[in-house]
Amino acid sequence: MTLHAALVPAFWDDERIYSLLPETRLLAAYLITCADAVRVPGLIRKSPRSIADDIHLPDDTVQHSLAALEGAAFCELDPANRMVRIPKAPRYCLRGATQGVVRSIFRHWTQLPQSQLRDDHVESIRAALDMSRPGMDDVWSQTFGSVRLNTQTLASPSQKKGVSVSDSDRVCVSDGDSECVSGHVAVRTGWFALFAQHNHGAKPSWGGMHGKLLNELLASHTPDEVLRRADIMFRSPPVYPRGPNPDLKTLYAHFDRFAVEISDTRNGGMSAREIFDFAQQLGDDDK
């Protein structure tokens, strides 16, 4: 059986798709139908620049469109491994898949860099297969069922309150929400800069889970406020709630605690006002 990546008519009627800008809709269609999408349906390893070359769009347009699709819960991104995941793609490509197809997908899957997105996608593949077909359980056990996965789930506040995933995911992106999209991009860019500044130039990890956390924060806070509290977190003493290695999950989990400056005055740390004045002075010196 040969896999074919195709769009179903309902794709264009999806609210998350038809409300997007034209170039973003083009990118969404590309992510489902490109050659890489056939090897492991819904899991693509390509850099934004490579994608831009394929669909003949500027690099920055592709970057903004990827952020928009992530904000619309259409895909998940892992910039460190140049990977894009479309969780629902397998259900459109794997209807009637045979044992040989599963083996082929598994072979290509093992060639991808080990990452959270790669492991998370296994469940999407399994859910799309007809496991009642003769021999399918056996071939699954011999392939994906034989590997140890690093799967993790993180419930958002809205999910904890009983709101469905589809409701909580519909946070961003319509033609009228370009400000929301640019806010997502601005915070992500600012986050990378802050992380590098406080971690000797290192890059933070980033995957679909991080995009979802950012969407949750932006649903009720401005980009400037998210970055302001991120800055407070990085400059806080390395004790609870910050911890020794703060990341976006730390900011999300303790967002309210970082509303004001946290200083360790017991160990000679500056007061909140001193930290604020010092930060203002540094900002003025840079101008």
**What single string gives the DSSP state of each residue in the chain?**
--------GGGGG-HHHHTS-HHHHHHHHHHHHSHHHHHSTTEEE--HHHHHHHHT--HHHHHHHHHHHHHTTS-EEEGGGTEEE-TTTHHHH-TT--HHHHHHHHHHHHTSPP-HHHHHHHHHHHHHS-TTSTTHHHHHHHTGGGS---------HHHHTT--HHHHHTTS-SGGGHHHHHHHHHHHHHHHHHHHHHTTTPPPP--HHHHHHHHHHHTTS-HHHHHHHHHHHHHS-SSTTT-SS--HHHHHHTGGGGGS----GGGTPPPHHHHHHHHHHHHHHH-
Band (102; pLDDT cuts 50, 70, 90): very high
If one compares 175 and 60, the residue with the highest pLDDT of the two is 60
Looking up residue 115, the CATH number of its domain turns out to be 1.10.10.10
Question: Are residues 180 and 135 located together in one domain of the fold?
Answer: no
Q: Quick check: is 47 in a domain?
A: yes
Question: Are residues 266 and 142 located together in one domain of the fold?
Answer: no
pLDDT in tens, 233-254: 988 887 777 777 888 888 998 8
Q: Quick check: is 120 in a domain?
A: yes
Residues 213, 221: Cα–Cα separation, whole Å: 12
pLDDT in tens, 148-168: 765 443 333 333 333 333 333
Q: Quick check: is 3 in a domain?
A: no
Q: Quick check: is 167 in a domain?
A: no
Question: Are residues 261 and 189 located together in one domain of the fold?
Answer: yes
Q: Is the entire prediction scored with pTM above 0.75? A: no
Question: Are residues 109 and 223 located together in one domain of the fold?
Answer: no
Can you give the pLDDT at residue 170? 31
Q: Quick check: is 170 in a domain?
A: no
Can you give the pLDDT at residue 239? 73
CA 173 to chain centre: 15
Per the structure, the count of domains in the chain is: 2
Band (171; pLDDT cuts 50, 70, 90): very low
Q: What is the mean pLDDT of the chain?
A: 77
Residues 191, 137: Cα–Cα separation, whole Å: 43
Question: Are residues 126 and 252 located together in one domain of the fold?
Answer: no
Domain that holds residue 270: 175-286
Q: With a cut of 80, say whether residue 140 has pLDDT above it.
A: yes
CA 33 to chain centre: 20
Band (57; pLDDT cuts 50, 70, 90): very high
Can you give the pLDDT at residue 242? 79
pLDDT in tens, 10-19: 777 777 777 7
Can you give the pLDDT at residue 159? 35
Question: Are residues 124 and 197 located together in one domain of the fold?
Answer: no
Q: Quick check: is 157 in a domain?
A: no
Q: With a cut of 80, say whether residue 276 has pLDDT above it.
A: no
Question: Are residues 221 and 184 located together in one domain of the fold?
Answer: yes
Asked whether the beta carbons of 160 and 154 are under 8 A apart, the reply is no
